[in-house]
Structure 1
Amino acid sequence: MKKINYYLTLIFIILFFLFLSYAQGNFSDYTLRIFMLIPIYAIMAVSLNLINGITGIFSLGHAGFVLLGAYTSALLTLEPFQKEISYIIVPIQPWLLNLHANFLVATLAGGLVAAIFAFLIGWPTLKLSGDYLAIASLGFAEIARVLANNVISVTNGPLGLKGLPNYTNLYWSWGWLLVTLIAIISLIKSSYGRALIAIREDSIAAESMGINVFKHELMAFVFGAFFAGISGSLYAHWLTTIDPRITTFGPLLTFYVLIMVVLGGLGSITGSIIGAGVFALMFEYLRSLEEPFNFFGIRVPGIPGMRMLVISAIFIFIMIFWQKGIMGRAEFSWEKLLKLFGIKVKKQSLVDIYMKKEGETK
């Protein structure tokens, strides 16, 4: 079954990237932008799910790591002359002026900066738990946003950074999602991942079994922050402009990502991807509710913020009647999909595998 899973996954990835090649030349610009936003949100959701859903750390500081990744990569991809033109209020720091790198290096740098700050923040705050940890992590995200708004010689303050190269495309966004999935799924399936799940279920029991709870939680926190920084870089070069407004990198972004995670299923990587896709589509296509429209012949004026009201109402409905989310803690598997089509795959038992190896040695 492992070989079948491997080949089916490989075939799916090849076919999907062929589809991306077709979409690049045939879809409208608006559709392409939404199709690029889905994997960016998915990276944010999967990385937060590693922290909140897999490890059981109640963190609300994800927007801070996304912000760090966005600003780091933006400062590296902007040309020196663009930086000189952009920094009107206060000149840019001389050591930042000539820093320049390609998009790949800038994206990795954004992830590393987010991971370093996660280590520095996680070391003292992960000794807290529950609501105290949530408040501390939320405070970090708000401190990062306020600093971005006031350290003008580094971030350009409230003016933000504009004219970023439009590097984020279908291949970069979906490619980085693939890397994120491979890295996080490999971690979850390793002995470290099993330890993280044990910590989530009962940290006291896990510690009594010899698991270093603090060390594993810090590792998951740093690992998730790294990919949050990656998503920040992709998000910044998708927007092509960033600023420290509350609506862009404030607490709202953390709550958006949390909605994606809970909507898909807390603890399910597959659910995080589905939740991110559903949220991105709703967030964009419900934009029409904020413009005047006809409802059964009645002219309804556009109401600003109406789409978030609808999304919130849907979220409340799910929390009341579908508390585990779309996937719960379940994951997608080829075996389940094949069963839906009536195809049964014979599983080898441990005895069969042992007897086969014994026969080969003889």
Structure 2
Amino acid sequence: MKSKERRIRDSILTLITIVVIFILLYLANQFMSNYQLRILNLCGIYIILSLSMILINGFLGLFSLGHAGFMAIGAYTVALLTLPPMEKQLNYYLEPIVPWLANTEWSFLPAILLGGVFAAIAGLLIGAPVLRLKDDYLAIATLGFAEIIRIIFTNLQSVTNGSLGLKGLPKIEIGIPFTGLALNMSACIWIAAVITVLFMVRLVKGSYGKAFLAIREDEIAAEAMGINVFKHKLLAFVIASFFAGIGGAFLGNIMGTVDPLMFRFLLTYNIVLIVVFGGIGSLTGGVLAAIVITAAMEMLRFLDSSFDLGPLEIPGIPGVRMVVFSLLLMFIIIFKPRGIMGVREFSWQWLIDLPNNTKNYYADRAIRKSKAKKGCDQ
């Protein structure tokens, strides 16, 4: 098949897949419970967050731990802009909110875009100095940035309501022009997730993606080939910060509340776990791991509380769930250091060729066994 025909076929199959996803999403909203929908929405949010981290940690080979800070910026921006004035009065009872925010109320779409832009600006400001560092030094610097952001938000009582946080956030809803219809929370989150996947795929397959991979493999060689290493690092950092801000905004709204304790290092650790599990250099692995890990985290929540195991009552210990995932992370690092996908990516051609490849694999295996048996007989 010619490359042009293959691209057209792949585009049609991708479009059909997107339509099927949203049909399934509509059915999920009709038949799933609120708890199940919450898990489904969290899967979409963690897809956005994992792909944004893979761009930095996987395709550039950097080690950034500042995601929680960018998420906090996006979450607080959207919360402050969308919270109705009456709710703001109820939230700010220790100290009144600053006048220029007291009566501000935006719709969700411009608010979340501005949240992403603010997070990207923060990524630009922090990335300019710290991206000159490498390895552990970069990780420590970005982790320190995330903690600084959290402490600032904790102490800005008249702006962020300090440690009390913001409660009563309105439900996500985006109107569709000229139709009188509106997209609900699930639709908004999964549209954002699909856009993130498509954008990242286009980015890493283009010239910028090739430059990112060249920098990851050897910075000196990439610079010798004419690639502006610092410019590409900063660009990837800003893009990842933008999507982290978007993911943080969705996370705040799905929780219905935003407070500084939400954005501790543990949140970044969860995203790192997803990235390592899926494959630090694979967008496909990031998507799969985001769904699997998010669902498993909820399924194993019973470990934190007491439960019956036959005639025995097992007392729950808070934090056991995260211990299980820590052990899982250690297991993956030891036995599968590249994750479940490594650097491999899904493609339609691979899926189409899968039956033949499987058939050929078992045929070759049977031939090898037959030859080995004949050798033993001789």
- The TM tier, using the shorter chain, reads over 0.9
Letter in 1 for 2:232: H
- 1:239-276 per-residue CA deviation (whole Å, 9 max, x = no partner) reads 0001101xx10111111101100100001111111111
1:312 aligned counterpart, secondary structure: helix
Q: In structure 1, which of residues 282, 293, 297 is the aligned counterpart of residue 307 of structure 2?
A: 293
> What TM-score, normalized to structure 2?
0.88
| Shift of residue 282, structure 1, vs aligned partner | 1.5
Is 1:112 paired with 2:96? no
How many pairs were matched up?
Answer: 342
2:214 aligned counterpart, secondary structure: helix
1:341 aligned counterpart, secondary structure: helix
Instruction: Name 2:214's counterpart in structure 1.
Output: 198
Letter in 1 for 2:245: G
Q: Please provide the CA RMSD for this pair.
A: 1.3
5+ residue gaps, structure 1:
345-362
Instruction: Name 1:249's counterpart in structure 2.
Output: 263
Q: In structure 2, which of residues 289, 293, 305 is the aligned counterpart of residue 279 of structure 1?
A: 293
| Shift of residue 221, structure 1, vs aligned partner | 0.1
Q: In structure 1, which of residues 91, 96, 102 is the aligned counterpart of residue 101 of structure 2?
A: 96
1:62-141 matches, within 5 Å, as 62-141=67-146
Instruction: Name 1:359's counterpart in structure 2.
Output: none
Q: In structure 1, which of residues 188, 213, 220 is the aligned counterpart of residue 229 of structure 2?
A: 213
Q: What is the CA–CA distance in structure 2 between the aligned matches of 1:343 and 1:124, rounded to whole Å?
A: 49
- 1:50-81 per-residue CA deviation (whole Å, 9 max, x = no partner) reads 01101112111011000000000000110112
> What TM-score, normalized to structure 1?
0.92
1:313 aligned counterpart, secondary structure: helix
Q: In structure 2, which of residues 243, 263, 278 is the aligned counterpart of residue 227 of structure 1?
A: 243
Q: In structure 2, which of residues 286, 303, 320 is the aligned counterpart of residue 306 of structure 1?
A: 320
Q: What is the CA–CA distance in structure 2 between the aligned matches of 1:148 and 1:182, rounded to whole Å?
A: 33
Instruction: Name 1:143's counterpart in structure 2.
Output: 148
| Shift of residue 340, structure 1, vs aligned partner | 2.1
Q: What is the CA–CA distance in structure 1 between the aligned matches of 2:220 and 2:277, rounded to whole Å?
A: 29
Q: What is the CA–CA distance in structure 1 between the aligned matches of 2:9 and 2:239, rounded to whole Å?
A: 30
Letter in 1 for 2:57: N
Q: What is the CA–CA distance in structure 2 between the aligned matches of 1:291 and 1:118, rounded to whole Å?
A: 39
2:340 aligned counterpart, secondary structure: coil
CA contact (8 A) 1:265 1:271 kept: yes
- CA 1:121/1:232 → structure 2, altered by over 3 Å: closer, same or farther? same
**Larger mean Cα displacement after TM superposition, 95-104 or 208-217:** 95-104
- CA 1:338/1:297 → structure 2, altered by over 3 Å: closer, same or farther? farther
| Shift of residue 131, structure 1, vs aligned partner | 1.1
Q: In structure 1, which of residues 209, 217, 238 is the aligned counterpart of residue 254 of structure 2?
A: 238
Q: What is the CA–CA distance in structure 2 between the aligned matches of 1:239 and 1:60, rounded to whole Å?
A: 23
Q: What is the CA–CA distance in structure 2 between the aligned matches of 1:319 and 1:343, rounded to whole Å?
A: 29
Q: What is the CA–CA distance in structure 1 between the aligned matches of 2:311 and 2:14, rounded to whole Å?
A: 49
Is 1:331 paired with 2:336? no
Q: In structure 2, which of residues 176, 185, 189 is the aligned counterpart of residue 169 of structure 1?
A: 185
1:184 aligned counterpart, secondary structure: helix
Q: What is the CA–CA distance in structure 2 between the aligned matches of 1:74 and 1:33, rounded to whole Å?
A: 19
| Shift of residue 99, structure 1, vs aligned partner | 2.1
The percent identity for this pair of structures is 50
1:299 aligned counterpart, secondary structure: strand
- 1:313-351 per-residue CA deviation (whole Å, 9 max, x = no partner) reads 11111111111111001011111112223499xxxxxxx
5+ residue gaps, structure 2:
1-5, 173-183, 359-378
**Larger mean Cα displacement after TM superposition, 38-47 or 179-188:** 179-188
Q: What is the CA–CA distance in structure 1 between the aligned matches of 2:308 and 2:85, rounded to whole Å?
A: 50
Instruction: Name 2:41's counterpart in structure 1.
Output: 36
Is 1:3 paired with 2:1? no
Q: After TM superposition, what 4+ stretches of structure 1 lie above 4 angstroms from structure 2?
A: none
Q: What is the CA–CA distance in structure 2 between the aligned matches of 1:277 and 1:64, rounded to whole Å?
A: 23
Q: What is the CA–CA distance in structure 1 between the aligned matches of 2:54 and 2:336, rounded to whole Å?
A: 18
| Shift of residue 88, structure 1, vs aligned partner | 1.3
| Shift of residue 296, structure 1, vs aligned partner | 4.6
Instruction: Name 2:362's counterpart in structure 1.
Output: none
Is 1:180 paired with 2:185? no
Q: What is the CA–CA distance in structure 1 between the aligned matches of 2:104 and 2:125, rounded to whole Å?
A: 24
Q: What is the CA–CA distance in structure 2 between the aligned matches of 1:4 and 1:233, rounded to whole Å?
A: 35
2:308 aligned counterpart, secondary structure: strand
Q: What is the CA–CA distance in structure 1 between the aligned matches of 2:320 and 2:166, rounded to whole Å?
A: 29
- 1:17-62 per-residue CA deviation (whole Å, 9 max, x = no partner) reads 1111111101111111100000101101000100110111211101
| Shift of residue 294, structure 1, vs aligned partner | 2.5
